[in-house]
């Protein structure tokens, strides 16, 4: 264990302490202290995640054993390249949405900042944990916080969408428990590394039960990832959420995607004996169906926020289908795509409210929200102290809209294009096929990705024309620097990902290689090291 292993638990402890501390400071007088704490804690989390990313890139896995219990018995936190990447992505997105919320949304309900920190704690924990049941606990934590955040701002539309969201997720959690207990019943362990080591040795008569358990577990994750046909709740819920919340929710689907990616490669990789490649074909076809469903949805949506919701589906579907391909190159392209599309969609959800502000329906909704919460509509003087309105508003909004559209649709010059290019280039140059023959799945992925990119482009162009060109009676919205800056920040990261595409791709390839070789993960986690052996010995 390196000296930094204490830092691994930081992304879980810091939001816990910050969130709990903020609960004590509730009330109107402390609002700005709480907001400052939230921004500070999230900023620190971004820093921690960046340090962890750098540590993980040395190729060592940092295994933190809680209470120093040896691995298969105690709970472990495992930091590798993939989890460090997801941590950084989560916290960057979180920072952007918190800063955005300071302009007005954090006043629309109680405990916004605490819930936000608890959501981050759940997310970070889910990315770091190396234990299935612990994963369930972190999942519930982030879901409980997300129920609160989805309802933030109240109003009939949010309560209606929230009701469906909560029922669907509670049912999925029960499926999660059934899957976990089936797997435990067969293998007798919940530690992911220990599980991966035991899967090849499972007796033939129990194998059906194990695979049934894994299948039930996968349904729970795929529901959260928004896979077709389990995703009808998603666009409605995301469109109903307040903009900063919708923006951070863009990462919630990625938790499901992350777990599917990790577990399918860890438990059912090449070395899994008779179960190798379990569920891979299903993931491929279901992923392709999700992309198509999302593409049709983007074309059909009248509302800009729903357009964002369907883009989320396309993004999850792409990564799921790429996981189903089961090739190292495709996985690394998919990771690149995951980062850029999440940032792009996050920025888009923030932007939606700003561009809708000049149009009547959006303004109506905010007024209704305030009324329902019993808060008076604030005057402009009261809002002016938050920040100054920016100049040339429409130009900024238009540029940001084009940026989001380019990233989400995957057009050059921004990162969405490079991501899709890397993904497809790997899918069309399979390394495991003799003679370099392109498998049918590669062609299918190519066709569906190009089609969905085109559909997104058409939908985005239509929305852009309607908003910026074809509405003569619109008023220019008042947009503050503090609202525009997070969007520019997210798009700037996408641009940086384009400029430094070489190093980023190299990192993604290293992450994909270690994902496809689970033996290293297993030995790193199960090798308890000298310090714990000593503690255990006498």
Partner 1 sequence: MELVLAIGIGTLAASGVWLILRPRTFQVIIGLSLLSYAVNLFIVAMGRVRSGAPVLIAKEAGDPARYADPLPQALVLTAIVISFATTALFLVVLLASRGLARTDHVDGQEPEA
The correct pick among 33, 167, 438, 451 for binding partner 1 (CB under 8 A) is 167
- Which among 160-168, 225-233, 293-301, 312-320 is the span making contact with partner 1, rule CB under 8 A? 160-168
Q: Quick check: 155 binds partner 1 (CB under 8 A)? A: yes
DSSP calls for 470-535: S-TTPPPP--BHHHHHHHHHHHHHHHHHHHTHHHHHHHHHHHHHHHH-HHHHHHHHH--HHHHHHH
Q: How many residues bind partner 1 (CB under 8 A)?
A: 31
CB of 202 to partner 1, least distance (A): 15
For partner 1, the closer CB: 50 or 372 = 372
Candidates 372, 386, 390, 457: give the one binding partner 1 (CB under 8 A).
Answer: 372
Q: How far is the CB of 166 from partner 1 (least distance, A)?
A: 5
* 111 lies in the site for partner 1, by CB under 8 A: no
| 65 DSSP β-pair partners | 76
- In the complex, least distance from residue 212 CB atom to partner 1, rounded to whole angstroms: 12
Paired tokens of 163: 């009701």
In the block, residue with structure tokens 């816990």: 16
Question: Which of residues 178, 212, 219, 411 is near partner 1 by CB under 8 A?
Answer: 178
The distance of closest approach from Cβ of residue 464 to partner 1 in the complex, given in angstroms and rounded to an integer, is 32
Q: Which of 37, 166, 248, 251 binds partner 1 (CB under 8 A)?
A: 166
Closest distance to partner 1 from the beta carbon of 170 (Å) = 5
From the list 7-15, 178-186, 324-332, 447-455, the region that binds partner 1 by CB under 8 A is 178-186
Pair 158, 240: CB distance under 8 Å: yes
Closest approach of partner 1 to the CB of residue 393, in Å = 34
Nearer to partner 1, 155 or 317 (CB): 155
CA-based nearest residue to 342, from 302, 314, 323: 314
* Residue 328: Cβ within 10 Å count: 19
Contacts of 170 (CB under 8 A, 6+ apart): none
Quote the tokens at residue 409.
Answer: 């649709």
DSSP secondary structure string, 298-367? HHH--SHHHHHHHHHHHHHHHHHHHHHH--HHHHHHHHHHHHHHHHHHHHHHHHHHHHHHTSHHHHHHHH
- Distance of closest approach, residue 110 Cβ to partner 1, in angstroms: 13
Burial label for 23, CB within 10 Å (0-12, 13-18, 19+), is: middle
The residue written with tokens 């189903």 in the block is 324
Q: Does 171 bind partner 1 (CB under 8 A)?
A: yes
How far apart are CB 190 and partner 1 at their closest, in Å?
Answer: 8
Smallest gap from residue 146 Cβ to partner 1 (A): 11
Scan residues 125-144 and list those touching partner 1 (CB under 8 A). 133, 136-137, 140, 143-144
Q: How many helices (H) and strands (E) does the chain have?
A: 22, 2
| Residue 163 vs 447, nearer CB to partner 1 | 163
Which string of x and - marks every residue 235-264 that binds partner 1 (by CB under 8 A)? ------------------------------
> Rounded to the nearest whole angstrom, what is the least distance from the CB of residue 133 to partner 1 in the complex?
6
DSSP 35-65: HHHHHHHHHHHHHHHHHHHHHHTTTPPEEEE
Is 162 a residue that touches partner 1 (CB under 8 A)? Answer: yes
Q: Using CA atoms, how far apart are residues 350 and 255, in angstroms rounded to an integer?
A: 20
| H, E, C per residue of 140-159 | HHHHHHHHHHHCCCCCHHHH
Residue of 68, 181, 271, 275 that binds partner 1 (CB under 8 A) = 181
Question: Are residues 239 and 308 in contact, defined by beta-carbon separation less than 8 angstroms?
Answer: yes
Q: Of 23-31, 51-59, 167-175, 265-273, which segment contacts partner 1 by CB under 8 A?
A: 167-175
| Contact pick of 34, 85, 103, 151 for partner 1 (by CB under 8 A) | 151
Output 182 or 343, the one with its CB closest to partner 1. 182
Residue 15 in contact with residue 124, Cβ under 8 Å? yes
Nearest distance from C-beta of residue 161 to partner 1, angstroms: 9
Determine, following the binding rule CB under 8 A, whether residue 395 of this chain makes contact with partner 1: no
CA neighbours closer than 13 Å in the CB half-sphere of residue 118: 22
Return residues touching partner 1 (CB under 8 A): 133, 136-137, 140, 143-144, 147, 151, 154-156, 159-160, 162-164, 166-167, 170-171, 173-174, 177-178, 180-182, 184-185, 190, 372
């Amino acid at each position: 264990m390196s000296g930094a292993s204490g830092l691994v638990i930081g992304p879980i402890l810091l939001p816990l302490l910050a969130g709990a501390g903020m609960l004590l400071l509730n009330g109107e007088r402390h609002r700005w202290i709480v907001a400052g704490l939230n921004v500070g804690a999230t900023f620190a989390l971004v820093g921690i995640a960046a340090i962890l990313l750098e540590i993980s890139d040395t190729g060592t896995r940092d295994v933190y054993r809680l209470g120093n219990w040896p691995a298969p018995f105690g709970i472990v936190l495992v930091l590798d390249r993939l989890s460090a990447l997801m941590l950084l992505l989560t916290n960057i997105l979180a920072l952007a949405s918190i800063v955005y919320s300071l302009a007005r949304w954090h006043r629309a309900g109680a405990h916004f900042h605490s819930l936000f920190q608890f959501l981050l704690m759940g997310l970070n924990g889910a990315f770091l944990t190396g234990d299935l049941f612990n994963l369930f606990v972190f999942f519930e934590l982030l879901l409980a916080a997300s129920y609160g955040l989805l309802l933030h701002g109240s109003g009939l539309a949010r309560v209606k969408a929230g009701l469906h969201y909560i029922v669907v997720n509670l049912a999925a959690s029960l499926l999660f428990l059934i899957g976990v207990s089936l797997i435990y019943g067969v293998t007798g362990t919940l530690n992911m590394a220990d599980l991966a080591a035991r899967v090849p040795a499972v007796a033939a008569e129990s194998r059906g039960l194990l695979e049934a358990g894994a299948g039930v577990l996968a349904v729970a994750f795929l529901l959260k990832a928004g896979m077709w046909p389990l995703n009808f709740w998603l666009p409605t819920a995301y469109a109903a959420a307040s903009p900063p919340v919708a923006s951070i929710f863009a990462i919630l689907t990625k938790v499901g995607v992350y777990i599917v990616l990790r577990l399918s490669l860890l438990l059912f990789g090449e070395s899994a004996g008779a179960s190798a490649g379990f569920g891979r074909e299903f993931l491929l076809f279901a992923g392709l169906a999700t992309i198509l469903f999302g593409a049709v949805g983007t074309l059909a949506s009248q509302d800009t926020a729903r357009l964002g919701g369907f883009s989320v589906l396309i993004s999850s579907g792409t990564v799921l289908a790429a996981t189903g391909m089961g090739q190292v190159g495709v996985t690394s392209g998919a990771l690149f795509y995951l980062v850029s599309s999440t940032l792009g969609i996050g920025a888009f959800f923030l932007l939606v409210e700003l561009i809708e502000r000049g149009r009547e329906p959006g303004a109506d909704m905010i007024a209704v929200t305030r009324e329902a919460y019993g808060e008076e509509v604030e005057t402009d003087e009261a809002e002016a102290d938050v920040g100054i309105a920016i100049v040339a508003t429409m130009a900024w909004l238009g540029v940001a809209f084009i940026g989001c559209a380019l990233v989400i649709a995957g057009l050059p010059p921004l990162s969405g294009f490079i991501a899709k290019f890397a993904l497809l280039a790997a899918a069309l140059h399979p390394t495991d096929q003799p003679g370099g023959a392109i498998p049918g799945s590669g062609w299918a992925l190519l066709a569906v990705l190009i089609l969905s990119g085109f559909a997104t482009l058409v939908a985005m162009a239509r929305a852009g024309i309607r908003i910026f060109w074809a509405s003569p009676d619109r008023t220019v919205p008042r947009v503050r620097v503090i609202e525009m800056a997070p969007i520019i920040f997210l798009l700037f990261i996408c641009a940086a990902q384009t400029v430094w595409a070489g190093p980023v791709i190299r990192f993604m390839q290293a992450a994909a290689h270690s994902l496809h070789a689970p033996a290293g993960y297993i030995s790193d986690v199960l090798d308890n090291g000298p310090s714990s052996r000593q503690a255990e010995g006498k």
